[in-house]
Amino acid sequence: GESVGLHLPTLSVQEGDNSIINCAYSNSASDYFIWYKQESGKGPQFIIDIRSNMDKRQGQRVTVLLNKTVKHLSLQIAATQPGDSAVYFCAENLGAGGTSYGKLTFGQGTILTVHP
Amino acid sequence: GAGVSQSPSNKVTEKGKDVELRCDPISGHTALYWYRQRLGQGLEFLIYFQGNSAPDKSGLPSDRFSAERTGESVSTLTIQRTQQEDSAVYLCASSLQGFYGYTFGSGTRLTVV
């Protein structure tokens, strides 16, 4: 059967390098974006979020950049560690109010592998 | 509890059987969501409960899928007459309001044989 896992983008880095994971979102009306980390056998875990009125937001070792012109989102991880190895998903929300409120649309995900 | 709890963690069922998946949200969270994650793919929205409002069922793939929620507590996702393409991890999330503070459970891995 189809091995859908091979369709996921992958990123391999050395420990200590900086990682950049990219995401193209679908809807220009989306006003809120979140990055999630998912380790094997676990549910997605919140990393960082950003509203559409911002271009950049920083957390601990992570930075999210938003380019609304080209509908592009990126997650930068500084000094990547082996514990950062996981699948990373971006998610978008179409905005408060109406039937879309609270419903996130997820990207396909990127597999990050950090080599010691 | 401290987090979102889902049970069972794994379920193997025969094609054609019905299954029930349970989600216990974080106490006080008014919003509850079900997502499906097929192997190697992103999360696919299924259904959303917010307080006493009518649920948003727009993501349910067929009438074999249904979900209920008792007040602001436990939710059950039921899949009738399971098919092999239903095999996936079913994830539940809850939040205080809308998408703020979304917290996921570890999911139920459903395998239909």
Q: What is the pLDDT of residues A64-75, one digit of tens each?
A: 999 999 999 999
Q: Please check whether residue B8 is in contact with residue B106, taking contact to mean a CB–CB distance below 8 angstroms.
A: no
Confidence (pLDDT) at B105: 96
The answer to whether residue A103 scores a pLDDT higher than 50 is yes
Torsion, CA B94, CA A98, CA A48, CA A110, rounded to 10: 90
Confidence (pLDDT) at B39: 86
Report how far residue A33's alpha carbon sits from residue B10's, in angstroms, rounded to the nearest whole number: 30
Q: Please check whether residue A104 is in contact with residue B98, taking contact to mean a CB–CB distance below 8 angstroms.
A: no
Of B4, B40, B98, the CB nearest to A96: B98
Per residue in A5-44, pLDDT (tens digit) is: 346 789 999 999 999 999 998 888 888 899 999 999 899 9
Per residue in B38-97, pLDDT (tens digit) is: 988 889 999 999 888 889 999 999 999 999 998 888 999 999 999 999 999 999 999 887
Mean pLDDT of the region A99-109: 75
**Does B20 or B52 have the greater pLDDT score?**
B20
* Residue of chain B with shortest Cα separation from A8: B40
Mean pLDDT of the region B9-25: 97
pLDDT band at A62 (very low <50, low <70, confident <90, very high): very high
A-chain residues within 8 Å CB-CB of B102?
Answer: 34, 46, 104
Of B42, B48, B93, the CB nearest to A89: B42
